[in-house]
Structure 1
Amino acid sequence: MTGVDLFGTYSHRDTLIHRAPLWCKGIALILISFALVATKSWVIGGVALSAMILVGLIGGITPKQWLQTLLGLKWLVIILAAYYVLFGSIAQGADVLLTLMSMVAFSKVLLTTTPLPRIIDGFVRLCAPLKIFGVKPERIAMAIAVMVRSIPVIMNEHTMISHALISRGVKVAPHRTFTPLIISTVAYAHETGEALAARGLMDTEVSSPASEHKN
């Protein structure tokens, strides 16, 4: 069983969105983010979400895939909607939810139409000026790559846990699957860290008591 592909994975196609340069997509991200943050109207969020879905359709994302993505956010939407209905305003809640879904939709379009190595290379170039402050752009890019790759793995683990319980006739509330999911996620994090350390991609030097005593 596979989980919901919430943020998308690269699909090789020859569409206008695939051919668009990365800098163009980056500028679009900045403009959309600025519009969503600078305005407090749910109308802007609705327009941005509709635009992202349309762009995604041009880029080859099917209506079924969009539906699966939006359904993947259902629990988050329900919780936030309940909060704003009870403690906030409906208009403010709509603005927050549409902003959230718009950014998820943009992420899906970006990751579906742009190879991940290309995105990482672009991020490394963007962070290059930070070298003067001792920051290593490559290390930041690696962290982003690990995070992006981990999201579908964790979601797939949640789906597998749910199906395993159902296949055994065990009926539990959705929140009760969090404990085995956390255990599985921690195990995956340890495995990932060990794999990176084995390839020399992490700082593995730890000062021993003996070395501290010498100093």
Structure 2
Amino acid sequence: MLATYVPRDSPVHRLPAGVKLTGLVLAGLGTVLLGRWWQSLLLLACVAGLYGVARLTWRCLAVQLRAVALLVAAIGVLQIVVAGWERAVVTCGNLLALVALAALVSLTTRTDDLIEVVVRGSGPLRRFGVEPERVGLLVSLGIRSVPVVARLAGEVRDAQLARGAATRPVAFLVPLVVRSLRHADRVGEALIARGVDD
């Protein structure tokens, strides 16, 4: 689930969206250079400190990390078996730090500001036939579709529980995909009706 903007008066909130997105990209690239377990834990501590600077609670940070906890745990077990505990700490620490940092950008930046940066950043691609406004629309629709798909997943799960059906992955995924495609069709029809073409 994408984090939603939380209004606060903090230095992190006041940073321009472009600076925050650039920092996120550089942090992602920088994790390649982190090879020691203590470096990854230091990065994680720095990100946690940024949550404090942004005047966001520890609970807010925990909610962001809880969403990927099972995936990170599975990766960690695999890394311990294959490469040892130090590599597991590096991999999982970097992953948690980047997820928390991406969530921090979302929590401290309005969606419209993020989309404006994406549109401006896509400007040079215009010479290759890419329309920056369409890229912005695509990003906007993607962001706004996440809670819709999450709601559809909840409805499918509730329907299965009400029928007493087994929670097999296929039995869950097929109705979710069908409902998501129907939603996408409705969005497409709405865009065509507003003159965005097909």
TM-score bucket of the superposed structures, by smaller chain: 0.7 to 0.9
Distance in structure 2 (CA, Å) of the matches to 1:23 and 1:158 = 33
What corresponds to 1:43 in structure 2? 38
Give the direction of change, closer, same or farther, for the CA distance of 1:72–1:193 in structure 2 (3 Å limit). Answer: same
What corresponds to 1:59 in structure 2? 54
Return 5+ residue gaps in structure 2 as ranges.
none
Match of 1:16 among 11, 26, 30: 11
Question: What amino acid is aligned across from residue 166 of structure 2 in structure 1?
Answer: V
Give the direction of change, closer, same or farther, for the CA distance of 1:76–1:165 in structure 2 (3 Å limit). Answer: same
Contact 1:165–1:171 (Cα < 8 Å) also in 2: yes
Contact 1:11–1:112 (Cα < 8 Å) also in 2: yes
Deviation of the 1:114 alpha carbon: 0.9
What corresponds to 2:93 in structure 1? 98
Give the direction of change, closer, same or farther, for the CA distance of 1:184–1:85 in structure 2 (3 Å limit). Answer: farther
Question: What amino acid is aligned across from residue 84 of structure 1 in structure 2?
Answer: Q
Match of 1:150 among 145, 153, 164: 145
Question: What amino acid is aligned across from residue 140 of structure 1 in structure 2?
Answer: V
Question: What amino acid is aligned across from residue 28 of structure 1 in structure 2?
Answer: G
Higher relative contact order (CA 8 A, sep 6+): 1
Distance in structure 2 (CA, Å) of the matches to 1:72 and 1:17 = 23
1:190 pairs with 2:185: yes
Distance in structure 1 (CA, Å) of the matches to 2:141 and 2:50 = 27
Contact 2:21–2:105 (Cα < 8 Å) also in 1: no
Quick check: which one's helix share is greater?
2
1:159 pairs with 2:164: no
Percent sequence identity over aligned pairs: 24
1:170 pairs with 2:164: yes
Contact 1:7–1:104 (Cα < 8 Å) also in 2: no
Question: What amino acid is aligned across from residue 172 of structure 1 in structure 2?
Answer: A
Give the direction of change, closer, same or farther, for the CA distance of 1:18–1:194 in structure 2 (3 Å limit). Answer: same
User: How far does the alpha carbon of each residue in 1:71-121 deviate from its partner, in whole angstroms, 9 at most, with x for none?
Assistant: 221332243234334444443333333332222212211111111111111
Larger radius of gyration, structure 1 or 2? Answer: 1
Match of 1:126 among 97, 109, 121: 121
Give the direction of change, closer, same or farther, for the CA distance of 1:143–1:93 in structure 2 (3 Å limit). Answer: farther
Question: What amino acid is aligned across from residue 157 of structure 2 in structure 1?
Answer: S
Deviation of the 1:12 alpha carbon: 2.3
Question: What amino acid is aligned across from residue 148 of structure 1 in structure 2?
Answer: I
Contact 1:36–1:44 (Cα < 8 Å) also in 2: no
Provide the TM-score with structure 2 as the length reference.
0.82
Number of equivalenced pairs: 197
Contact 2:72–2:92 (Cα < 8 Å) also in 1: yes
Provide the TM-score with structure 1 as the length reference.
0.77
Return 5+ residue gaps in structure 1 as ranges.
1-5, 205-215
Distance in structure 2 (CA, Å) of the matches to 1:50 and 1:159 = 33
What corresponds to 2:29 in structure 1? 34
Give the direction of change, closer, same or farther, for the CA distance of 1:72–1:18 in structure 2 (3 Å limit). Answer: same
- Counting only pairs closer than 5 Å after superposition, residues 190-209 of structure 1 correspond to structure 2 as 190-202=185-197, 204=198
Distance in structure 1 (CA, Å) of the matches to 2:188 and 2:79 = 39
Distance in structure 2 (CA, Å) of the matches to 1:79 and 1:39 = 21
